[in-house]
Amino acid sequence: MAVGLQLLLLFLAAVVIGSQSEVDDFRRPSHKDVEHSVTRFGQGRARAFSALLFDVPRGQLIVAARDHLFRLSVDGLALLEESQWAASESLTQLCQDKGQSEEDCHNYIRVLLQRGDQVLACGTNAFSPRCSWRHIEAIDVVDTWLNGMAKCPYSPHANITSLMTADGDYFIGAPTDFSGQDSAIYRLLGQSNRLRTMQYNSKWLNRPQFVGSFETQHFVYFFFREVAVEYMNCGKVIYPRVARVSRATWAAR
């Protein structure tokens, strides 16, 4: 895990450093200062890299992008395997007929989670979400296809968070409909009953923008920001929130 964390920290540091303005401050190294120590990966027309999955025991990294999945070595980011996963022409055309742009009518792979030696990968699939179970050492081989509704957002622009618990339950915080108006925290797959936050109830969730999530022994925590309904008289006020969900039943927020 140490190697994976180090790579993740390096990645985040590169993003932060690259976004900083050029300031003559020795505490803020420039992009040029660290460029020689950064390993880069690029492949063909792949773009919109959206998710990373570290598989430290096997020394590999699974990377999700638009219309592509990649399996790379942790050491040097050498390409081990590539899997193309684009939306069909009919779905792409239907997506555009419904008013979406050509750019958005691709398959943006937004969910990448591990359970044992399998990977759950979910993509927007031209606003027709779809998921697949794949072997972690053969990502181009699909074991099972799943309907992606409520498991993956329709829009590539949605802010989401997802996780797979140690028990195999899948949690996601995301918009669950085509319009992006029905945002929810969902629990599905696994052995537990399917549950979700109350639909179209602003006292539960009010246009949330999900940031992250993690599990503890008894709970799953979701971090997001939303329009605070308790301050509606003061105008639109954005508040950060933490939602605590029991791994067995819902807990009070």
Sorted by where each begins, the domain ranges of the chain are 1-17+46-157, 159-253
Extract the tokens encoding 237.
């006020």
Res. 20 pLDDT band, cuts 50 70 90: very low
Task: HSE, CB side, 13 Å, CA atoms: give it for residue 13.
Answer: 15
Q: Does residue 16 surpass a pLDDT of 50? A: no
Worst-scoring range by mean pLDDT, 24-33, 86-95, 96-105, 158-167?
A: 24-33
Architecture of domain 1-17+46-157: Beta Barrel (2.40)
- Report pLDDT digits (tens) over 73-105: 998 899 999 999 999 999 999 999 999 999 999
The secondary element (H helix, E strand) that includes residue 226 is strand 219-227
Indicate the DSSP class of residue 136: T
Res. 17 pLDDT band, cuts 50 70 90: very low
The contacts of residue 218 (CB under 8 Å, 6+ apart) are 246, 247, 248
Task: Count the neighbouring beta carbons within 10 Å of the beta carbon of residue 7.
Answer: 18
Q: What is the 3-state secondary structure of 11-77?
A: HHHHHHHHHCCCCCCCCCCCHHHHHCCCCCCCCCCCCCCCEEEEEHHHCEEEEEEECEEEEEECCCC
Q: How much is the pLDDT for 112?
A: 96
The secondary element (H helix, E strand) that includes residue 10 is helix 2-19
Q: What is the mean pLDDT of residues 66-73?
A: 95
Entry field: residues in the chain: 253
Q: For residue 231, give the 3-state DSSP assignment.
A: helix
Q: How much is the pLDDT for 22?
A: 46
Q: What is the mean pLDDT of residues 160-187?
A: 92
Averaged confidence pLDDT in the chain:
85
Number of H helices, E strands in the chain: 3, 15
Q: Does residue 15 surpass a pLDDT of 80? A: no
Res. 232 pLDDT band, cuts 50 70 90: low
- Report pLDDT digits (tens) over 109-155: 999 999 999 999 999 999 999 999 999 999 999 999 999 999 999 99
- Report pLDDT digits (tens) over 37-58: 777 777 777 888 889 999 999 9
